[in-house]
Amino acid sequence: MSSHSFLQIRELSKRYGGAPKPVFEGINVDIERGEFVCIIGHSGCGKTTILNILSGLDSASGGNVVMDGREVSGPSLDRGVVFQGHALMPWLTVAANIAFAVKSRWPDWSRERIQQHGQKYIDLVRLTGNESKKPSELSGGMKQRVGIARAFAIQPKMLLLDEPFGALDALTRGTIQDELLSICSQTQQTVFMITHDVDEAILLADKIMLMSSNTSTGPAARIAEVVVNTLPKTRTRADIHHHPQFYKIRNHLVDFLVNRSSAPTVMNSIGGIGYPPEIFPGLTSEEDSSDKSQKPSLKKIK
């Protein structure tokens, strides 16, 4: 939590016009370069709103966001967004969708250079051979991969993903998760991702932010805890379940979502700013976590 973290979110709050209370307030988060951060919370707590503010598509009611030393004040090519509904342009082919983004990023590039650059990312998401197809001719998973390729192709400093795999079946989701993991480790990409899937968060994220609920009677939502993923970086979807820390982390997350998401949040005050506490559930000894060691019953919280 140095004062020169890559991304600094300070005292962020958002209140929609006419609403009696803010959706969330007092959000203080630091994200380092190359970090993969997931955010989990119940529906309606304001995850998409935070992501939209980070992308610059929406503006905050209070507080600010500073990325790489500059305040976020609007959309920028420095932040690539993968939208929940893939948001491909249906009248363009796969290659043209990506070329549109590449051309926006590097307007002076020649047609061949744009095409070559785009092709690299089409290959990366393993869509080689589908370049001239229209989005309507692709499966849901393929569309989402095009969306990911488009976001990566502009080489943003930070990638923002809003439930990118929400609409996919478990099998497809798994393979794309693997792809995302390998691309991110290759490119050292900084990522901020919303998910509802606890397992997905543990597989992908270095840090998992737990967001408290935003009920109509209770206080505004906040980031209640930052769970540090202490599983080895080399984890894969196939072996992650065998790691002794996996269920400790998983149980902690599920327990938060089921039992504690509406509980009052306790902040660590650092330099007058309330940060959410960092938790290392993977490193606790068996006795500490025995109270939560029951088999997880929830796979996915919606």
Partner 1 sequence: MLKSIALKAALLSVLLLGCFLLVWHIATLPKQTVAAVDSEYAKLMGGGAPKSTGLPTPLQIGEAVIKHASDPFYDNGPNDKGIGIQVAFSLARVTAGFLLAAAVALPLGFFIGMSPLIYRALNPFIQVLKPISPLAWMPLALYTIKDSATSSIFVIFICSIWPMLINTAHGVASVRREWLNVAKTLEVGVLRKAFYVVLPAAAPTILTGMRISMGIAWLVIVAAEMLVGGTGIGYFVWNEWNNLSLTNVIFAILMIGVVGMLLDMLFGLLQQAATYVE
What is the nearest approach in angstroms of partner 1 to the Cβ of residue 80? Answer: 7
What is the nearest approach in angstroms of ligand ATP to the Cβ of residue 22? Answer: 9
Residues that bind partner 1 (CB under 8 A): 55-57, 75-77, 79-81, 83, 85, 87, 89-92, 100-101, 104-105, 134, 136, 154
Q: Which is nearer to Mg ion, 48 or 130 (CB)?
A: 48
With CB under 5 to 8 Å by kind, the binding choice for 10 among Mg ion, ligand ATP, partner 1, none is none
What is the nearest approach in angstroms of partner 1 to the Cβ of residue 257? Answer: 28
76 contacts Mg ion (rule: CB under 5 A): no
What is the nearest approach in angstroms of partner 1 to the Cβ of residue 225? Answer: 30
With CB under 5 to 8 Å by kind, the binding choice for 55 among Mg ion, partner 1, ligand ATP, none is partner 1
What is the nearest approach in angstroms of partner 1 to the Cβ of residue 68? Answer: 16
Closest CA to 72 of 89, 60, 84: 60
23 contacts ligand ATP (rule: CB under 6 A): yes
Q: Which is nearer to partner 1, 103 or 126 (CB)?
A: 103
Q: Which is nearer to partner 1, 136 or 234 (CB)?
A: 136
48 contacts Mg ion (rule: CB under 5 A): yes
What is the nearest approach in angstroms of partner 1 to the Cβ of residue 146? Answer: 12
Residues at the site binding ligand ATP, with contacts judged by CB under 6 A: 16, 23, 41, 43-49, 214
